[in-house]
Structure 1
Amino acid sequence: MRVAARRIIAAPVERVWEVLSDPTAYPRLVPGLATVAAAGERRYAYQLRWGGVSHEGAVEVTDATAGTELVLTGVDGPLVRARWSLRAVGEGRTEVHLDLTCQPRGRGWADAATGVVLRRQARRALDSLAARWREPSTSSASALRDQASTQALALVTLARCRVVAPMRPDRLLGVARGFLRWGLTPPGGYAIGAARHPDRPAVVDEQGAVTFAELDDRTTRLANGLLGSGVKAGDRVAVLCRNHRGFVETVVACAKIGAHVVLVNTGLSATQTAAVLRDQGASVVVADAEFRPMLARAPRGVRRIIALAEGSTRSLTLEGLVAESPAAALPRPPRSRMIVLTSGTTGTPKGARRPEPPSLAPAAAVLSRIPLRAGEPMLVSAPLFHTWGLAAFQLALVLGSTLVLHRRFDPVAALRAIHEHRCTSWFVVPVMLQRLLETPEADRGAWSTASLSVVASSGSALPGPLAVRFQREYGRVLYNLYGSTEVSWASIATPDELMAAPGTAGRPPRGTRLAVLDPDGAPVPPGRPGRIFVANEMLFDGYTNGAGKEVRAGMMATGDVGQLDEAGLLFVVGRDDEMVVSGGENVYPREVEDLLAGLAGVREAAVVGVPDEEYGQRLAAYVVPAEGVDLTADAVREHVRANLARFSVPRDVVFLDALPRNSTGKVLKRELPRP
């Protein structure tokens, strides 16, 4: 069978080629193509899943002319040949031809199914490719109106946040120069900041303050220093740092030379860290000196640079590279990527390739629900290596805000920073709010939070009772963003929504599509659970191992189950792989966890499914009582029995001093003891 298809893509040839020349990104284009992973210099292994059939095979790049043609030929499985042809057709547009030949060998249903799947999905691959740049159809006036409306609303949002504002002509020229040189990248953000407000502090940490002009200069020197030390474009630099200027400067300097950055979780074990460095192909690791034990098993050949040391050191340091390197102009680098690790709550973290923002519209989408203001100091307590901390960093670049950073979270120190720096926003993970409320009132009351208008929480589930209690004490300033490393954001709950419907994940911000779908891909009615799918401009570009996430109708699976109420508010029920089937009844632990979080005397709780000989599975609750409270297992069960169905009552109740959590506050359920 043979399929030939053609589409006009609203992107220049080099952008389209960047996608097509990387077969590991194909799972984003072809429904049913589960994974594609490099298996050699020009060979790729793939796995297809369709209609209950799974098949593995391999293809090889048999011909490639950069920007013009790419030919992939099957070397294992069905005799498949795919030929991509590209041709520029006017400014910023590309004509793409896909010629696909599939000749199943007839050795069984799997090979035949593979051929059918490839034939059916060829045109969808071109549709998905076109959707990456939202190609406007000349025959669709509504599509043009939607695009114009989106851009206009983004501009209005940015103007309301004071990102778009009048400025002196000389500074406007500097802003234009910085944008043309670096685009919407971290170097671009600080180059624009250096032109627009050079003397404004860009970062304030325990070492003091560094201005936008100073940071732009320091990162140019650091970039030259990294080049001189052997780091080159295309290398992968792992960053193992707490929240301080060294993290920020490394990310910016690497982007200035085209080196990819791998953000490493500071809470990993030495074994996990070694696996991440090996899997991500890191050639250099920039790490705080305190993390030397985590690098004890690092692969040979990985060079080390100290980001921050307590006292003197003979090792190569960031500060040494900055001091000894010139601020010489850098050549224009190739595009680099930011690789963020998944949380790793169920195993070794995977690397997720973060996309480069196509415009300021993604920032405007978040700002449409979280009213941040340009130029105002922002305390970021969420770890910068995590998607949420990284989002705060990127929003600060758009807003030209001062990043206030602490290496370790301490509730009283955070309140003091808000008071001293007049921070108007605070980025946290939910467990930080819990720790704040557990701090004695006498310690908290010494510092004013009157300047604070936004407390933005994400990274893990925000219990409804915690949201209500926090706002009763600190006012209606809490915003809850629901998202993931893969989809960025899905929905945002405002303070009023969190008070009216505690536990809600809110509504999708502007420019975001969200749907709750049944197993067949159809929307479910309000009040019924289904899988959550999301579409926005910042969906990830796949895992570094070639795998991806399921995509339906242009929307990506979050991996969670949720439901919408009649008002359109989203409620996340739990992970789609955490559903417990007990005696034929489906139970989601999240519902029981939220209920227990509101029980008087409970500090925190986690619920999991454990094997049961009679029912298949049963619920086990792990409860951390508040200090001085004497809880009993029967009291916990009775509370659940009085509020939920009988099959939601945990048969096992285990009391702990604390729940095992990672650095972003997610409970590590695999580390809970067996009941």
Structure 2
Amino acid sequence: MVHARPEYRSGPGRWAGQALNVPLTMARRGLLWPWRPLRATRQLTALLHWGTTLAGGLAAAAARDPDRTALVDEKGELSYAELHDRTDRLAAGLVPDCRGRRLRVAVLCRNHRGLVESLIACSKRGAEVVLLGTGLGPGQLNGVMRELWADIVIADAEFADLLPRGGRRFTKVTAWADEDAPSGGGPTLEELIEATPAPALEPPPIQGRVVFLSSGTSGRPKGARRPPRPGFVPLTAMLARTPLRVGDRMLIEAPLFHAWGYSSLQLALAMRGTVVLGRRSDPERTLATIQERSCTTLVTVPIMLQRLLALPERTRAAYDTSSLRITAVSGSRLPGDLATAFMDAFSVELCNVYGSTEAGWVSIATAADLRAHPDTAGRPASGAEVAILDAEGRPVPRGATGRIYVAGSTRFEGYTGGVPVETRDGMLFMGDVGHLDHGGLLYVEGRADEMIVSGGENVFPAAAEDVIARLPQVREVAVTGVPDEEYGERLAAYIVMAPGARLDADTVRGHVRERLARYAVPRDVHFRPHLPRNAMGKVVPHRLHETAGA
């Protein structure tokens, strides 16, 4: 059957050329290089046996390069062989052999080996993993746990007091406890690993699943189930647009409980790379880690780029970051000229990945794309199609703003609570508005629910954000809508100034007025010491309003 792609859809498509693109891209990047044919055979056998799950990625890498360093964190290094053995033991000691019922495991951890080992062990047993964000408040966490009650809860000791104390019983396991801090209760992951003999594991009869939570910036987080076997299309989509190589040393600062961090872990295992993790993110610590571990790739979020650039030049110059070739960001828009400023300061190739938990990787902007158009989200990724539609589902002309719809190979399996999903012609609504230019580049202008109507005009706050972000005195900025008696709604800007800078509200409004329409000028300008953000670096809008007068 031939599938014709409607003209209003942009992208390489879900079918055309993929069968050929996958092996060609993998061969170019060294994944199919036939050195050591015996090990290559073992690698392929392991992958065929376990599939393209986290367990399969690790098993294949351990078969090919058992002595290569797989993971580095505060406790030291683990080789691929060691990580494979430890997760076998943890799988046998943590999760009973699931035959007929899929167990659910909730995980509440920062980035460290315990989180990685828990994810892989659950993959080896076919459990359903619910990834809980470390920034969830007690009310949000209790709400999620009431809906998605787990048989086993793995948590860092620092979060033990947040766990529910009533309701159904669950087994508690401590992932990480500082030496001077009490355990979070129950056995530790290390105790389970040490107490369990090495088993001979087989792929589980029941497929595991992963449940990611939405950011929750505008309400209660929603659980979104993702298929456990992503296949090769997401891998080749990234390899086709970025200069990643087999064996890269990847500092993953994006939280692993978020789809961006989790997908980067999958990518690193598939590339037989070294995953470098830290429990807490700090810009100067990031530079020190790049120097100490000779990291070639930094996986992070846009706010970290801003914080790295905000460091004094003498501080940045004190660290040797010449090993760093690639920085990949996702999770929120790149404001103003952040992309070019970062590439100029650090001499790296910056890649901007646009996607979501529900749709996977939608588009990728290369360094060349960002040099020419710093605000672009790039071109549709391999396996993805993008359409810009109006509110009635009709395609809009190129260059016109509309709602972003996506079709791809990694679409999620639905929300856990039965929340409806908006689709058109088999395409998923991203919740964003934007446009495609005549060259096929995608631009994301903001969330559809962030648009305000001020004096009868539709206004997207992101345009004002970008203009204000280009002021040299501004370190961070967020613009949002607030109620207005006369106009219905108006824009309010919340600004964090660069150290030592001076700026006033009239200068900000005048700067915007010279570049945008009158109705896009923020009438309220607040100067803040910081902006409220979640663990992914996204601004939490309702907390902006709560603290406006502080």
- On whether the aligned pair clears a TM of 0.5, the verdict is yes
- What is the distance in 2 between the residues matched to 1:297 and 1:468? 49
Asked whether the 8 Å contact 1:232–1:258 carries over to 2, the reply is: no
Asked whether the 8 Å contact 1:433–1:470 carries over to 2, the reply is: yes
Q: Is 1:610 aligned with 2:482?
A: yes
* Partner amino acid, structure 1, of 2:199: A
Tell me the equivalent position of 2:89: 221
Query: Matched residue of 1:619: which SS?
Result: strand
Tell me the equivalent position of 2:75: 207
Asked whether the 8 Å contact 1:352–1:541 carries over to 2, the reply is: yes
Q: Is 1:269 aligned with 2:140?
A: no
For the structure 1 residues 533 and 592, does the alpha-carbon distance in structure 2 shift closer, same or farther, using more than 3 Å as the test?
same
Query: Matched residue of 2:107: which SS?
Result: strand
Tell me the equivalent position of 1:253: 121
Q: Is 1:568 aligned with 2:436?
A: no
Asked whether the 8 Å contact 2:14–2:383 carries over to 1, the reply is: no
Please point out which of 301, 306, 314 is paired with 1:429: 301
Tell me the equivalent position of 2:207: 335
Shift of 1:475: 2.0
Query: Matched residue of 1:273: which SS?
Result: helix
- What is the distance in 2 between the residues matched to 1:279 and 1:234? 16
Residue correspondence of structure 1 range 362-373 to structure 2 within 5 A? 362-373=234-245
Shift of 1:653: 1.3
Q: Is 1:642 aligned with 2:514?
A: yes
Query: Matched residue of 2:341: which SS?
Result: helix
For the structure 1 residues 180 and 150, does the alpha-carbon distance in structure 2 shift closer, same or farther, using more than 3 Å as the test?
closer
- RMSD over aligned CA atoms reads 2.2
Shift of 1:633: 1.2
* Partner amino acid, structure 2, of 1:255: S
Please point out which of 146, 160, 165 is paired with 2:28: 160
Query: Matched residue of 1:449: which SS?
Result: coil
Question: Which consecutive segments of 4 or more residues in structure 1 shift more than 4 A?
Answer: 136-140, 145-148, 228-233, 296-300
Asked whether the 8 Å contact 2:97–2:125 carries over to 1, the reply is: no
Higher relative contact order (CA 8 A, sep 6+): 2
Query: Matched residue of 2:94: which SS?
Result: helix
Tell me the equivalent position of 2:59: 191
Please point out which of 240, 252, 271 is paired with 2:108: 240
* Partner amino acid, structure 2, of 1:345: T
* Partner amino acid, structure 1, of 2:191: G
Q: For 1:127-177, what per-residue CA distance to the aligned partner results, in whole angstroms no more than 9, with x for missing partners?
A: xxxxxxxxx55999xxxx994721211211111111111132432332233
- What is the distance in 1 between the residues matched to 2:282 and 2:230? 36
Q: For 1:598-633, what per-residue CA distance to the aligned partner results, in whole angstroms no more than 9, with x for missing partners?
A: 112111111111111221111111122222222211
Asked whether the 8 Å contact 1:273–1:298 carries over to 2, the reply is: no
Shift of 1:298: 6.4
Query: Matched residue of 2:159: which SS?
Result: helix
- What is the distance in 2 between the residues matched to 1:206 and 1:233? 36
Residue correspondence of structure 1 range 38-437 to structure 2 within 5 A? 136=1, 147=15, 149-227=17-95, 233-295=101-163, 299-311=167-179, 313=183, 315-333=186-204, 334-437=206-309
Tell me the equivalent position of 2:431: 559
Q: Is 1:525 aligned with 2:397?
A: yes
For the structure 1 residues 619 and 331, does the alpha-carbon distance in structure 2 shift closer, same or farther, using more than 3 Å as the test?
same
- What is the distance in 2 between the residues matched to 1:414 and 1:165? 33
* Partner amino acid, structure 2, of 1:280: L
- What is the distance in 2 between the residues matched to 1:260 and 1:446? 45
Shift of 1:256: 1.4
Q: Is 1:596 aligned with 2:442?
A: no
Asked whether the 8 Å contact 2:234–2:361 carries over to 1, the reply is: no
Tell me the equivalent position of 1:3: none
Choose 229-238 or 619-628, whichever is displaced more. Answer: 229-238
Shift of 1:331: 4.7
Overall identity of the aligned pairs, in %: 51
For the structure 1 residues 445 and 554, does the alpha-carbon distance in structure 2 shift closer, same or farther, using more than 3 Å as the test?
same
- What is the distance in 1 between the residues matched to 2:517 and 2:356? 30
- Give TM-score scaled by structure 2 length: 0.93
Q: For 1:7-62, what per-residue CA distance to the aligned partner results, in whole angstroms no more than 9, with x for missing partners?
A: xxxxxxxxxxxxxxxxxxxxxxxxxxxxxxxxxxxxxxxxxxxxxxxxxxxxxxxx
Shift of 1:550: 1.5
- What is the distance in 1 between the residues matched to 2:346 and 2:166? 45
Asked whether the 8 Å contact 1:476–1:496 carries over to 2, the reply is: no
Shift of 1:216: 0.9
- What is the distance in 1 between the residues matched to 2:230 and 2:97? 32
Query: Matched residue of 1:577: which SS?
Result: helix
Query: Matched residue of 1:368: which SS?
Result: helix
Q: For 1:285-335, what per-residue CA distance to the aligned partner results, in whole angstroms no more than 9, with x for missing partners?
A: 101111123226564413210001112747311000000011122354110
- What is the distance in 2 between the residues matched to 1:614 and 1:501? 37
- What is the distance in 1 between the residues matched to 2:14 and 2:124? 35
Query: Matched residue of 1:406: which SS?
Result: coil
- What is the distance in 1 between the residues matched to 2:98 and 2:246? 38
Choose 172-181 or 601-610, whichever is displaced more. Answer: 172-181
* Partner amino acid, structure 1, of 2:123: A
Choose 276-285 or 222-231, whichever is displaced more. Answer: 222-231
* Partner amino acid, structure 2, of 1:543: Y
* Partner amino acid, structure 2, of 1:591: A
Shift of 1:226: 1.2
Shift of 1:476: 4.6
- What is the distance in 1 between the residues matched to 2:259 and 2:4? 39
Shift of 1:233: 4.9
Q: For 1:93-126, what per-residue CA distance to the aligned partner results, in whole angstroms no more than 9, with x for missing partners?
A: xxxxxxxxxxxxxxxxxxxxxxxxxxxxxxxxxx
Choose 566-575 or 663-672, whichever is displaced more. Answer: 566-575
- What is the distance in 2 between the residues matched to 1:419 and 1:365? 29
Q: For 1:52-75, what per-residue CA distance to the aligned partner results, in whole angstroms no more than 9, with x for missing partners?
A: xxxxxxxxxxxxxxxxxxxxxxxx
Shift of 1:357: 3.4
Is there any run of 5+ residues in structure 1 with no aligned partner, and where? 1-135
* Partner amino acid, structure 2, of 1:604: E
Larger radius of gyration between Structure 1 and Structure 2: 1
For the structure 1 residues 139 and 236, does the alpha-carbon distance in structure 2 shift closer, same or farther, using more than 3 Å as the test?
closer
Asked whether the 8 Å contact 1:381–1:428 carries over to 2, the reply is: yes
- What is the distance in 1 between the residues matched to 2:14 and 2:407? 15
Asked whether the 8 Å contact 1:233–1:258 carries over to 2, the reply is: no
* Partner amino acid, structure 2, of 1:488: G
**Count of residues in Structure 1 that have an aligned counterpart in Structure 2:** 536
Tell me the equivalent position of 1:586: 458
Asked whether the 8 Å contact 1:151–1:361 carries over to 2, the reply is: no
Shift of 1:236: 1.0
- What is the distance in 1 between the residues matched to 2:47 and 2:323? 32
Please point out which of 411, 430, 442 is paired with 1:539: 411
For the structure 1 residues 588 and 137, does the alpha-carbon distance in structure 2 shift closer, same or farther, using more than 3 Å as the test?
closer
Query: Matched residue of 1:464: which SS?
Result: coil
